[in-house]
């Protein structure tokens, strides 16, 4: 069967021939693998490229070994940590650039992201941490990528809306790749278990919607097991809905505070898990306040504004909490 190599593949192959450093060779090989036509006629070529990638990673990765371990944990910031995952060249970096204050390398070729790139996304009056990860590709995704996915609060699965009929296959391949690493993506957050399999809530986003027709997007949405949202980093279409969807999927609430006799501070809320109680808000303000708590007044989910509530009162998004403390004993 003829290979029918594409112009993009031939360009990538020329880059490999011109490459002078291990890093340049690795980037060219990765681009070759992503652009080679996928059919039986190229099976042997794909296998050869994958072997060469593994060898090139060994050469290029000697100076990175110390760095890779530092990628396995990125301190969480804001209301939650969300990771962007997907196959090569789906526009994750462009999306990160459109949503956050980060300045990722946005390139027209695949595998331009080699390290995790974090940014902070603003949603109304809170911030959410969004991390762009290198593409998920069988055989040569580094272990720290899976570590970051396992520890995240939410996974955004980015798929190219213009891929049409291939979307379901790409999704299935990604799910299989993660499950081999004991990561299972689920639609809803569930209580933690002692099972080896780590469940992480996930949402699907269809990128490049400005280049896809509505009918193709509709067919793609119907073929996928999770609800999918189409977005465009170029036009901004769907980005506001994506921000709201991420907030909802994190299962957090915003709680505001006020001092007695003063107006509430509505600029920087505390973010707490859904189901949190008044005592949790007190601890968020200052952990030592829990031992001195006298009572709490609440505006929002109480029967009336300013109602005094018990410490186990369940809070809701938008509640305002006023903490009253016992006076410190003399001499303490």
Rounded distance between C-alpha atoms, residue 83 and residue 156, angstroms: 6
pLDDT exceeds cutoff 70 at 301: yes
In DSSP terms, which residues pair with 127 in a beta bridge? 122
pLDDT band per the 50, 70, 90 thresholds, residue 191 = confident
pLDDT band per the 50, 70, 90 thresholds, residue 139 = low
- Going from the N-terminus, what domains does the chain have, and what CATH number goes with each? 7-60 (no CATH), 66-250 (3.40.50.300), 253-325 (3.10.20.30)
pTM of the shown model: 0.74
pLDDT in the model for residue 242: 96
pLDDT in the model for residue 1: 43
* pLDDT average, residue stretch 24-50: 80
The full DSSP string for 2-40 is -----HHHHHHHHHHHH--SHHHHHHHHHHHHHHS--SG
The full DSSP string for 131-184 is EE-PPP-TTT--HHHHHHHHH-SEEEEEEEGGGGGGHHHHHHHHHHHHHTTTEE
Please tell me the chain's helix, strand, coil percentages from 3-state DSSP, rounded to the nearest 5: 40, 25, 40
Report CA 193 to chain centroid distance, whole Å: 22
CA-nearest of 187, 217, 213, 218 to 200 is 187
Compute and round to an integer the Cα radius of gyration of the chain: 24
pLDDT in the model for residue 27: 81
pLDDT in the model for residue 70: 57
In DSSP terms, which residues pair with 199 in a beta bridge? 184
The 10s digit of each residue's pLDDT in 62-115 is 544 444 445 667 888 899 999 999 988 888 989 999 999 877 665 554 455 568
Does 7 or 293 have the greater pLDDT score? 293
């Amino acid at each position: 069967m003829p290979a029918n190599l594409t112009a993009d593949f031939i360009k990538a192959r020329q880059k490999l021939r011109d490459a002078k450093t291990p890093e340049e060779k690795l980037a060219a090989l990765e681009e070759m693998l992503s652009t080679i036509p996928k059919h039986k006629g190229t099976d042997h070529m794909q296998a050869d490229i994958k072997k060469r990638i593994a060898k090139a990673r060994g050469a290029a990765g000697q100076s990175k070994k110390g760095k890779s371990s530092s990628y396995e944990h990125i301190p969480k910031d804001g209301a939650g940590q969300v990771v962007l995952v997907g196959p090569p060249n789906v526009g994750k970096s462009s999306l990160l650039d459109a949503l956050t204050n980060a300045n990722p390398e946005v390139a027209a070729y695949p595998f331009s992201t080699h390290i995790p790139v974090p940014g902070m996304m603003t949603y109304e009056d809170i911030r959410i941490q969004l991390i762009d990860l290198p593409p998920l590709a069988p055989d040569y995704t580094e272990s720290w990528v899976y570590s970051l996915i396992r520890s995240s609060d939410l996974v955004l699965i980015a798929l190219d809306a213009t891929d049409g009929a291939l979307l379901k296959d790409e999704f299935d391949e990604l799910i299989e790749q993660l499950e081999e690493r004991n990561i299972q993506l689920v639609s809803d957050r569930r209580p933690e278990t002692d099972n080896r399999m780590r469940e992480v809530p996930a949402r699907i986003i269809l990128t490049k919607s400005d280049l896809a027709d509505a009918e193709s997007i509709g067919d793609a949405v119907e073929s996928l097991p999770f609800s999918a949202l189409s977005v465009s980093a170029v036009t901004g279409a769907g980005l506001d809905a994506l921000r709201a969807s991420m907030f909802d999927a994190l299962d957090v609430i915003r709680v505001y505070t006020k001092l007695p006799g003063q107006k509430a501070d509505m600029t920087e809320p505390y973010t707490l898990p859904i189901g949190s109680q008044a005592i949790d808000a007190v601890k968020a303000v200052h952990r030592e306040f829990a031992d001195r708590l006298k009572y709490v007044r609440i505006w929002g989910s109480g029967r009336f504004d300013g109602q005094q509530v018990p410490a186990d009162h369940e809070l809701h998004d938008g509640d305002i909490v006023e903490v009253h403390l016992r006076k410190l004993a003399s001499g303490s």
